[in-house]
């Protein structure tokens, strides 16, 4: 089952009213995600222009990233023969992360990573290590850092080594789990 914007809203990875944007040939398109995972309020920022223009106002809303980017490229810029990967090129403005990365994080949260695809898990570990490094920098800046919090980088392991299979735990307190997930995502 494909992940949709509605799924990302439901998981709390994006919020109602968040802005998304993409750039094509120096033209930047920006829109908002509203309740239900719909895309609306599309604006175009042309190169060397200080003001935005409202575009695609004849469309109430778009239900997917693909339909929104195709309408922007074809109806506004009249680019008809373009292959454009929406999930890879549309950025979530609040976090400055591609929507594809947020979708991959959603797959991990929902346990939909296939057995052979460890790359997504390593990517998430790397992202979390970067977050810890940034948090450590802030703590050091405010003299709140203790040496015991110093992170240890990943240990190189041989890929031939058999790894122990982890059992997926059953979540007993769903509310507490969701609060911890939101704290991790917002940091």
Of the three residues 108, 134, 154, the one that is the final residue of a domain is 108
In a domain, 114, yes or no: no
Q: Do 18 and 90 share a structural domain?
A: yes
Which stretch of DSSP H or E encloses residue 65? Answer: helix 65-71
pTM: predicted TM-score of the whole model, two decimal places? 0.64
Distances (CA, A) of 61 to 71, 107, 181: 11, 25, 29
Beta-bridge partner residues of 109: none
In a domain, 113, yes or no: no
Q: pLDDT means per 10 residues in the chain (187 residues)?
A: 80 91 93 93 91 90 92 90 84 91 80 67 79 81 66 60 68 83 78
In a domain, 168, yes or no: yes
If one counts the domains in the chain, the total is: 2
Q: Do 24 and 86 share a structural domain?
A: yes
* 20 three-class SS: strand
Q: Do 139 and 95 share a structural domain?
A: no
Residue span of the structural domain in which 94 resides: 5-108
């Amino acid at each position: 089952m494909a992940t949709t914007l509605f799924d990302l809203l439901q998981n709390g990875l994006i919020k109602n009213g968040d802005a998304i944007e993409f750039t094509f040939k120096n033209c930047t398109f920006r829109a908002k995600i509203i309740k239900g995972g719909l895309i609306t309020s599309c604006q175009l920022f042309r190169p060397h222009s200080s003001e935005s223009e409202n575009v695609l106002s004849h469309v109430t809303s778009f239900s997917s990233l693909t339909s929104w980017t195709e309408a922007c490229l074809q109806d506004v810029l009249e680019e008809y023969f373009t292959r454009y990967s929406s999930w890879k090129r549309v950025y979530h403005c609040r976090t400055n992360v591609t929507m594809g990365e947020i979708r991959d994080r959603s797959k991990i949260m929902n346990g939909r990573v296939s057995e052979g695809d460890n790359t997504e898990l390593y990517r998430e570990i790397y992202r979390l290590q970067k977050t810890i490094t940034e948090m450590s920098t802030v703590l050091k800046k405010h003299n709140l850092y203790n040496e015991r919090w110093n992170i240890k980088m990943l240990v190189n392991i041989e890929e031939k080594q058999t790894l122990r299979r982890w059992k997926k735990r059953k979540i007993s307190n769903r509310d507490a789990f969701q609060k911890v997930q939101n704290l991790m995502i917002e940091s």
